[in-house]
Amino acid sequence: MEKIDPTFIREVAQISGTIPSRCYNCSACTSGCQFAHIMDKKPHEIIRLVQIGLKNEALAASGPWICVGCNTCSMECPNAIDIPAVMDAIRAMAIAKGEIPEKDIYNFHKEILGSIKRYGRTHKLEIMMRFKLVSRDFFSDMDLGVRMLSRRKLHILPSRIKGVRDVRNLFKKVG
C-alpha cells in the first residue's frame, strides 16, 4: 500500500489557499459535477485522498485534469472549500513531479499558452491544428473544422498585440 504523506494536506492548503480538512465527504461536489462520470477519482474522492495523505494516488488521478473549473462544486460545498483551487494545486504538483496522467489535456493547455506567448492572444485555428499534430489525431473533427472555417468562426491569421514582448516575459518560468 502507498505510504501516507502527512504533509500533503498542508502543501495543498498552502498552494490552493483553501482548507480541505473542512470536508466531511458529503459528496455534494461530485453530485453537481457535469464530468464526474469520466473521472477516475471524483471531486470528493480527490479531497479525501488529500485528507488522508495519499499523494501519489491523487497526483496520478485524471479528475484534476478533467475538471474545467466551472465552480459548480464550490457553490454546492457546505464547507466553502474551493475545490477547483485544490485541483489547480494538484495539477501544479503533478507537473512539478513530471508525471502527468492526462497528457492530451496538458498538451491542449500548453497549446493555448503557446499561442498567448506567440501573439498575446489565442489563435484558435493554429491551436487546433497544433493540438491535432501533438495528439496524433489527424482525422477526427475534420468536417467540423471545415464548417467552422466556412462560417468564419476560425480565423486564418492570428491577431498579434504590440506588447507581445511584455507577455513573453511573463512566461519565463513556465517555458
Partner 1 sequence: MKCDVKPIEVTWFPGCSMKTSAMENHESFKIFCEAIGIRLIELPDWNCCGSSSAHSIDQELAIDLVARNLALAPSGRPILTACPSCTLRFKEAHHHLMESSEARIRFRKQWGVPFDPAKKVMHFFELIDGMDISAFTPGKKPLAGLTYAPYYGCMLARPPKLRNQKNFHGLLEKILGTLGAKAVDWKGHNKCCGTFLSVARPEATTEVVNAIVQSGLDSGAECLITACAMCQLNLEIRCNLKDQIPVLHFSEILTLALGKGKNTDQWFKRHLVDPKPLLAAKGLI
**Positions in the binding site for partner 1 (CB under 8 A):** 15, 17-18, 34-35, 38, 66, 68-72, 74-75, 77, 80-82, 84-85, 88, 91-92, 95, 104-106, 108-110, 112-113, 116, 120-122, 124, 128, 131, 140-141, 144, 147-148, 151-155, 159, 161-163, 166-167, 170-171, 173-174
CB of 59 to partner 1, least distance (A): 15
Q: What is the nearest approach in angstroms of partner 1 to the Cβ of residue 69?
A: 6
Angle at CA of residue 135, ends 60 and 91, nearest 5° = 30
Rg (CA), the chain: 19
Query: In the complex with partner 1, which residue's Cβ is closer, 26 or 170?
Result: 170
Spatial contact of 32 and 73, defined as CB atoms under 8 Å apart: yes
Shortest Å, Cβ 114 to partner 1: 10
C-alpha 31/C-alpha 78 separation (Å) is 13
Q: Which is nearer to partner 1, 6 or 149 (CB)?
A: 149
3-state secondary structure of 172: coil
Q: How far is the CB of 126 from partner 1 (least distance, A)?
A: 12
DSSP state of 6: T
- Residue 123 to residue 109: CA distance in whole angstroms: 13
What DSSP state is assigned to residue 94? H
Smallest gap from Cβ 144 to partner 1, in A, equals: 6
Choose between 58 and 77: whose C-beta lies nearer to partner 1: 77
| Cα 141 to Cα 83: distance, rounded to the nearest angstrom | 32
Considering only the C-alpha atoms of the chain, give the largest distance between any 2 of them, rounded to a whole number of Å: 55
